[in-house]
Amino acid sequence: MNILQGLRVALVALLLGLATLAFAQQGDLEINTPAIAALKQSMQQRHAQLAPLYASGAVGLARDGTVALRDASSVPLPQRAQVNTLIAAENADRAALYREIARANGRPEWESDVRNTFAQRWIERAQPGWWVQGPGGWVQK
């Protein structure tokens, strides 16, 4: 009888814990950290230079949550190095962003899930005319 009573108390405690946990799960992901804010700002500033490249098709949104040089020939030769630098800087920020979001939520192992989620959302929300990488290759939105 004592065992049963003890188990009943334990069960109630567990259910309460479970309810708290379920509630916590419904919340938002933590994205308000100084590191994430700095990355957002850096990417926002760079977007002014990247937007014309998305529109011209020179740069596309890749499936892995990065940006990629899709059509080098549409960039005049003298500007190609600059575009490559831009792409590298954007991808470094994006990688850091995915890592920071996972870390800010205490789950560094979520990094690849965060990356996949972003990859889908970048592509989903790309403007008409931009190039995005689908399962079968590059397609224009």
Partner 1 sequence: MHARTALAVAAALTLVTAGCVTINIYFPAAAAEKAADRIIDEVWQLREGAKPEAGGAPANGERQ
Residues lying near partner 1 in the complex (CB under 8 A): 1, 3-4, 7-8, 10-11, 14-15, 17-18, 21-22, 25-29, 31, 36, 40, 43-44, 47, 97, 101, 107, 110, 113-114, 117-118, 120-122, 125
Query: Is the CB of 32 or the CB of 73 nearer to partner 1?
Result: 32
Look at the block and give the residue holding tokens 């399962």: 135
Nearest approach in angstroms of CB 108 to partner 1 is 12
Nearest approach in angstroms of CB 28 to partner 1 is 6
Q: Tell me the C-alpha distance between 124 and 78, whole Å.
A: 32
Nearest approach in angstroms of CB 40 to partner 1 is 5
Query: Is the CB of 81 or the CB of 129 nearer to partner 1?
Result: 129
Nearest approach in angstroms of CB 44 to partner 1 is 5
Name 131's bridge partners: 140
User: Angle of helix 111-124 relative to helix 77-104, nearest 10 degrees?
Assistant: 130
First to last CA, the chain: 68
- Which tokens go with 61? 């949104």
Check: CB of residue 31 under 8 Å from CB of residue 104. yes
Query: Is the CB of 81 or the CB of 125 nearer to partner 1?
Result: 125
- Which tokens go with 59? 């740069």
